Amino acid sequence: MEARIIRIAEDYAILKLSNQEELKWPREKLPPTAKEGMSLWLELEIHPSPKTESKFSKDFLNEILKEDSKIS
């Protein structure tokens, strides 16, 4: 999502998103060359928790084993 820096304060910046919403963003998370008026591209990524990932892996393996037992 595109965002434009509309204000930089001491420890945060206000970004205006492409849907016109404003977001308070930690200044230390901005590129070092960031300036007011600059456009940025924001991208969020979902990282599953270890517990969720473990359950997914276990379910996936169980499904494979179930299919394998049908073939044998």
Q: What is the DSSP string of 27-51?
A: GGGS-TT--TT-EEE--------HH
Per-residue confidence (pLDDT) for residue 69, from 0 to 100: 63
pLDDT by 10s per residue, the chain, length 72: 999 999 999 999 999 999 999 999 999 999 999 999 999 998 877 777 777 778 878 887 888 887 666 665
Calpha distance 24→53 (Å, rounded) = 31
Q: Would you state the pLDDT for residue 70? A: 62
Please, which residues bridge with residue 13 across strands? 8, 25
pLDDT of the residue at 68: 60
pLDDT at 72: 55
In eight-state DSSP terms, residue 66 is: H
